[in-house]
Amino acid sequence: MSLSATPAPPVTAPASGAATTVIPGPLLNPLAALAPAMTLAGHVVPAAAAATEASEENADDMLAQNDQLRRTLVNLALKLRHIPYVRGGHDPSTGFDCSGFVRYVFEHAIGSHLPTNSASQYMEGLKVRRGEMQPGDLVFFRTAGMHGRISHVGIYLDNGLFIHSPTTGKTVEVSNLDQSYWSNHFAGAKRPEAIANSLGDNS
């Protein structure tokens, strides 16, 4: 039995300026499903592309929200400089210890409640590599030696700087992680859940 190709019906050129409708031949039928996404100019805007665009917009919104959280945290922390260190302190009217300072900033800046001491704060949130720290992340130290328990915490600012309430006789201040003391006692960084969740970061 011989096979013969059935010629496609002729296409009549439209008048100038008129819309063009192309009737697909047998070999073009698989493309018919894309017809709603096609325009005369040949541009294709399929549903997948629209969904991708919406996802990108949502991601941009999340990043903006995350940046705002970080700015709010940092701004409040910097306003509390020069508040004296007080062991067990958690209020600017009396003074701060390191964990009390961090708790106060997170609670009053973004409404997030952290544990009461630095060791407990270290057990929460997402671990962050030193080179990937961002403003608002928490930095932790073992001031009694690298094999001791977590004993100090501060809030990372940027460019290696962090703000904390260091010790008796001092006030809330900005220090540099590259200073030998802090570098030698650095135990790691954590991203509190309030920040990680706003970014959709579950890694």
Amino acid at 129: R
Choose among 135, 147, 149, 146: nearest CA to 189: 135
What pLDDT was estimated at residue 158?
95
Mean pLDDT per block of 10 residues along the chain (203 residues) reads: 51 49 44 42 52 56 79 97 97 97 98 96 96 97 87 98 98 98 97 82 55
Name the DSSP class of 197. H
Amino acid at 106: F
Indicate the domain borders of the chain: 62-197
- Return all residues near 193 (Cβ < 8 A) that are at least 6 apart: 112, 124, 125, 126
**Residues labelled catalytic:** 98, 152, 164
CA–CA distance, 118 with 77 (Å, rounded to integer): 17
Name the DSSP class of 38. B
Q: Whole-prediction pTM value?
A: 0.69
CA–CA distance, 155 with 136 (Å, rounded to integer): 6
Does domain 62-197 correspond to CATH entry 3.90.550.10?
no
What pLDDT was estimated at residue 36?
45
